[in-house]
Chains A and B, each alone.
Chain A
């Protein structure tokens, strides 16, 4: 647990919410949120749809006003934001390189270096609409890096990414954190793969249901109440094996899932 007596600056905290509440008309979207993200730390916000994850991110970015409480950001904080997905019409002729510099004028070398850092330098002249989900996420990540951020904010970064790509993308994000000593705030609706890299999980359903290191969160009764102990089964993707693996308790898992799980476990330990 972080020492409560330390100030924001001492722990190199990048953004901090205290008693944050955001309201839409008469309804509280989120309330009583205490949260901070420090340098070198990956914080993952999980929770059900409509649980206020995106609202929280928007409030932390300063795009939504706080009805109660405060949001403080470190002086001169540079935030790199990666949205969930882009809805770019097919009629807009836009190359990856042009997307990179849309709001951040940068030289060709900088653009190429950022794209190389996320492994997509070969895509620089492709039309944005021709990218796969995983490629687009990497391009958006590179685009955020171009701003030389202290804090990366990622909204569901693995949505629309296939399973293999998902694990690799998480590894990339963890590497970025280590290499650039960034703070990372990630929103995710699935806990299992996130857990491999994340330092702290915050389970949000309008208020903070529970928080802690990944292995403690999944055992928290509040979390189990939200998602149900078997909520991971309907999706049926092998990705959930990772979630199972990172628990000490042994659930009954179908044999084929266990197989995938061993495989993925290896790729995670590799980093």
Chain B
């Protein structure tokens, strides 16, 4: 009896440790990238392309390829489509984002329902299922995460110049289009990595909330990126522990923890012992 109990205990620990490792890995990558989404006021943009991730999952299922690749391909395609449509300027950008966001999400849901023969954990994709994280997923998260951070470091200077002022950057010879495309690719990759942790409906929160929480701690862009990674990691750990403790869904628990950190960061700082 005792042996069985301790084995169960070990397995529990094991899945929880895997979940923690996954959450920490994703948060460490999402924080710095999320800073650019906040600085560039692209929260809704991030939402739109993450909603299209479900369509990527559906395409992956249909084509029988790895779902992660399906997600990267489809989200990248939607991001490029958005860039193209924005350029034509026939429709206001927020309307365009609203249309694409919900059309892509609905299309994903419909395609998946047509594949009804499959046993499919829809809720897991929408809101995250950290229980389902496998050792293979961890490999993806850390391998992909290192790749994303390396790419981000490589385009950091250009992307920051672009964020300050696109026209000025262009006039000063910054390869604007390259930086913009690389940024889209990075967002697509992070969405693919983060899907299992918080689900596609909540991915944007993992990008923007830690970044927003880090704002008041930072005096340079780089400090803010590091602080955002730190805040994200803290939120992942707190959220997953809370999820285990109170038996709540893991993705939303992480988001609530992040929102709590953001709220804390907004509290007025005590000065001269006053309120």
CB atoms of B220 and A98 under 8 A apart: yes
Chain A residues whose CB sits within 8 angstroms of the CB of B103 once the complex forms: none
Find chain B residues with CB under 8 A from A88 CB.
163-165
- Could you tell me if B168 and A81 are in contact, using CB atoms closer than 8 angstroms? yes
A-B pairs with beta carbons under 8 A, tally:
63
Within 8 A of A (CB), among B147-182: 157, 160-161, 163-165, 167-174
Do the beta carbons of A63 and B219 come within 8 Å of each other? Answer: no
CB of B212 within 8 A of chain A?
yes
CB of B38 within 8 Å of the partner chain: yes
Q: Does A94 reach chain B (CB closer than 8 Å)?
A: yes
Are A104 and B172 within 8 A (Cβ)? yes
* B109 → chain A closest CB, angstroms: 33
Question: Of all chain B residues, which has the CB nearest A93?
Answer: B218
In contact, B169 and A103 (Cβ under 8 angstroms): yes
Report whether B161 and A89 are in contact in the complex, using a CB–CB cutoff of 8 Å: no
**B51 contacts the other chain (CB 8 A):** no
Which residue on chain B has the smallest CB distance to residue A85? B165
Please give, as numbers and ranges, the residues of chain B lying within 8 Å of A95 by CB-CB distance: 219-220
Which range holds the interface residue count of chain A?
20 to 34
A61-B171, A103-B169 known; A89-B40 Cβ under 8 A: yes
Min CB–CB distance A86 → chain B (angstroms): 5
With an 8 A cutoff between CB atoms, is B235 at the interface?
Answer: no
Give the chain B neighbours of A94 by CB distance below 8 A.
164, 220-221
CB distance from A165 to the nearest CB of B (A): 21
Whether A83 contacts B167 by the Cβ 8 Å rule is yes
- Establish whether residues A86 and B168, one from each chain, have CB atoms under 8 Å apart when the complex forms: yes
Give Cα distance in the complex from A83 to B173, angstroms: 15
- Which residues in A have their C-beta under 8 angstroms from that of B160? 102
Residue of B nearest to A99 (CB): B164
Contact A91 B215 (CB under 8 A): yes
A61 to B223, CA, bound (A): 34
Q: Which of B38, B174, B219 contacts A103 (CB 8 A)?
A: B174
- Interface membership of chain B positions 170-211, coded 1 if the CB is closer than 8 angstroms to chain A and 0 otherwise: 111110000000000000000000000000000000000001
Nearest residue, chain B, Cβ from A89: B39
Partner of B38, one of A86, A89, A99: A89
Check: B41 CB closer than 8 A to any chain A CB. Answer: yes
Does A87 touch B at the CB level, under 8 Å?
A: yes
Contact (Cβ within 8 A) B161 A103: yes
* B224–A93 CB distance below 8 A: yes
Q: Is the CB of B39 within 8 A of A102?
A: no
Which A residues lie within 8 Å of B171 (CB)?
Answer: 61, 63, 79, 81, 83, 153
B206-261 residues at the A interface, CB under 8 angstroms: 211-212, 215, 218-221, 223-224
22 sampled A-B residue pairs with Cβ under 8 A:
A63-B167, A63-B171, A79-B171, A81-B168, A86-B164, A88-B164, A88-B165, A89-B38, A89-B40, A91-B39, A91-B212, A92-B163, A93-B218, A93-B220, A94-B164, A95-B219, A102-B160, A102-B161, A103-B161, A103-B173, A104-B172, A153-B171
Residues of B in contact with A (beta carbons under 8 Å apart): 38-41, 157, 160-161, 163-165, 167-174, 211-212, 215, 218-221, 223-224
Nearest 5 pairs between A and B by C-beta?
A81-B171, A92-B39, A103-B172, A93-B218, A103-B161
